[in-house]
Chain A
Amino acid sequence: MGVLSEELKQRIADEFPKYPEKRAVLLTALHFIQAEHDGWIPPGASKEVAELLEIHQIDVEEVISFYSLFHDEPVGKFHIQVCANLSCCLAGARPLIRAFEEKLDIRSGEVTEDGVFSIAEVECLGSCGTAPMLQVNNEPFLENLKPDDVPGILDKLRSRLGEGKR
């Protein structure tokens, strides 16, 4: 049994006609896989994608490692991505990250034991005017934040836990 379902493979194959060559579908395919597998790319998936796109497995792994959007290890249900570039840092991204770390009792780059939250420092998300800011999963930005906002943000996210898959 492969890691990827037949249905998922078919969805990836359906993308082929849109591009000049199969390898161009790689990013789309990885997004599909993450959406189906709790936000990360499970072991074995890169091999199956490589076969599907007729490229080397190492090419797939290279791309996964390059983009902070792709994860080869589990992330939390709510993946909290705090911008740690210049504008946000000047406006207080460090204290913000520290507040999340203290509240969740994990370090940046880690996942809470219950698998609900993870924190990551990411490169510029293009919202310097509203620094410091963050993005949860692929949702709209949360902007102009202060460390005091952290408990409220977490409570709001927790309240959504029953809603099922994101």
Chain B
Amino acid sequence: MSDETAASAPSTMNGRFKKPVKVVIDGREITAEAGHPLLQVALDNGIEIPHYCYHPKLSIDGSCRMCQVKIEKAPKLAIACNTPVTDGMVVDTTCDEVAFARKGVMELLLINHPLDCPICDQAGECYLQDYSFGYGSQESRTSSPRRKGLKRHPIGERVIFDQERCILCRRCVRFTKEISKTDELRVFGIGDKSRIGTTSERPLNNDYSINTADICPVGALLSRDFHHKRRVWFLQEHESVCPSCSNGCNVKLGIYNNEIQRMVPRRNDEVNDTWMCDHGRLNYHFAQDETRVRTPLIRDDAHAAPASGNGAGADVKYATTLDAALEAAAEKLRGAVSVHGGGAIGVLGSPHLTNEDLFRLVQLVNALGTPNFDMIVPVGPADDFLIKPEKAANAAGARALGVKPGDGGKDAQAILEGAKSGELRVLLIVGSADAARVLGETGIKDAVAKLDALIVVDANRSPLTDAATIVLPGLVWAEKDGSFTNHAGRVQRVRQAMEPHADLQPEGALFARLAALFARGSAPAAYDAAATLREIAAGVPAFASIGFDTLGSAGLALQEPGAAGAAEAAAPAQA
């Protein structure tokens, strides 16, 4: 319900400030913008008026009648959602008349509502439950049987419909009309035969369909992914950002038993209003499925022969400690640089990492002294709403921090070619799925045959982690603190929502330790994302005013690239 107040971005401060009016609600004098819905004004000022059909991002329907209030000099109660505030309006939301009307509305809404809260996913975050408790009656005055309707009906591939629970608020209908603009849902029938439905040819399958489950005030529309998965009161909710594309939709992660149970959108009017796409919402399973890399690995012929004793050494990888794997990686890098120079090393960064991770990676690359530094940004289908073509959360951040070839250095394509041709001796790949796709099966074989070492840092398995000489396990976004920079240059916090496996560390820590080991320097201070962002702010002008303390829940825009000489100049120079 907090998503319904404008606290994050007051509508009265957006420059289109209309004539302010004074209204009195429950004895409190409030200044508001003329013409705003009385209901929204009340909510924005912390006065609860119960409501079902009203939603701040949808048109006004006025069908549920729950938000009736008493307005002085008005002949009868009025619905607060469809009453624009006017100067001098005096409103009472608590009088007996209002309480009686609410009780009546609740009685009619519940007259056919099934009592299946114990098996309803909505239980615990259900308006019907909350308002029944707050404003309803404790007993039923009817004994006639409740109307039967569709149960667990697959109204779309990703949404389940329970007709018996529906209170016909039409939020979902308005969503498909006004937001997704796909028009799959309508109200069919009349009177007590009214029901939400689709046509048989067009089920509810648009790219944003699960938002209808979010805005459904009861348990009528439900996410199939979350169906009967976990009672919501067991979830710990953490604010985060969706990692699936460069839009950076604000989300809440629901965690239980150190696993993500669901991802739901969080209101940010600058980024995603209160919506997110289905693909992003459902793309979290990689954080906890069997593809996770949980152990550092070394493929080492010298160890292989005695240990296996069967000559299969070159194809055997050994689980090892993080310390040993980092030491081995540093040794490979050092060896290549001392014999061939920094140019013998290629580094592919990842647009999936946080700004903080990437800053440490840029420092590592500077220490290695190679200009062969780039990244592969996966692209895919986009639309003109939330879905952006770059399928990574932080490509813009990576660019702003200088993840790109140095003077005369190779770009991503040339780095992979150089690995296959033998021109490069050591290849460090961070986030390997996209590089594996570009290389292909034979490309990977060629590269492994020619390279002295293939070092892969990744949180998930890929053909490249399978082929690598050294694998350093990374973390997924939900396991670390940090920030992403979205396509529009907005920096947003991600927060650690899950404990990493064993003693795995964020990539930023790995890069810092690797840089120190490479230079045979002393161990770096313990990695800390907040401190790293402070370093970024000090060193990269675009990030000047950005820190964990200033980002808040809504994030902050990077400084205009032109304004301060920008990221270009700020990115640490490449050797």
- What CA separation (Å) do A58 and B197 show in the bound complex? 10
Residues on A with C-beta less than 8 A from B188 are 61-62, 65-66
Near A by CB (< 8 A), chain B positions 188-218 give 188-191, 198-199, 201-202
Measured CB to CB, the nearest residue on chain B to A55 is: B183
Cβ of B479 under 8 Å from chain A = no
A-side interface size class: 10 to 19
Interchain CB contact under 8 A, A66 and B184 = no
Cβ of B9 under 8 Å from chain A = no
Residues on B with C-beta less than 8 A from A61 are 186, 188, 199
Interchain CB contact under 8 A, B184 and A58 = yes
Interchain CB contact under 8 A, B189 and A57 = no
| Closest-CB distance, B223 to chain A (whole angstroms) | 23
Considering residues B184, B190, B199, which has the most beta carbons from chain A within 10 angstroms of its beta carbon? Answer: B199
Measured CB to CB, the nearest residue on chain A to B202 is: A58
Measured CB to CB, the nearest residue on chain A to B177 is: A56
Cβ of A15 under 8 Å from chain B = no
Cβ of A51 under 8 Å from chain B = no
Interchain CB contact under 8 A, B183 and A65 = no
CB contacts between A and B, total, < 8 Å: 27
Interchain CB contact under 8 A, B186 and A59 = yes
B-side interface size class: 10 to 19
- What CA separation (Å) do A87 and B535 show in the bound complex? 81
Residues on B with C-beta less than 8 A from A65 are 188-190
Residues on A with C-beta less than 8 A from B187 are 62
Interchain CB contact under 8 A, A66 and B202 = no
Measured CB to CB, the nearest residue on chain A to B199 is: A58
| Closest-CB distance, B187 to chain A (whole angstroms) | 7
| Closest-CB distance, A14 to chain B (whole angstroms) | 28
- What CA separation (Å) do A126 and B392 show in the bound complex? 64
Measured CB to CB, the nearest residue on chain B to A62 is: B186
Measured CB to CB, the nearest residue on chain A to B185 is: A58
Interchain CB contact under 8 A, B190 and A58 = no
| Closest-CB distance, A119 to chain B (whole angstroms) | 17
Near B by CB (< 8 A), chain A positions 44-96 give 56-59, 61-62, 65-68
Residues on B with C-beta less than 8 A from A67 are 190
| Closest-CB distance, A68 to chain B (whole angstroms) | 8
The 5 listed contacts between A and B (C-beta, < 8 Å) are A58-B185, A58-B186, A59-B183, A65-B188, A66-B189
Instruction: List 4 tightest A-B contacts by C-beta distance, closest first.
Output: A65-B188, A62-B186, A56-B183, A66-B190
B residues near A, CB below 8 A? 183-191, 198-199, 201-202
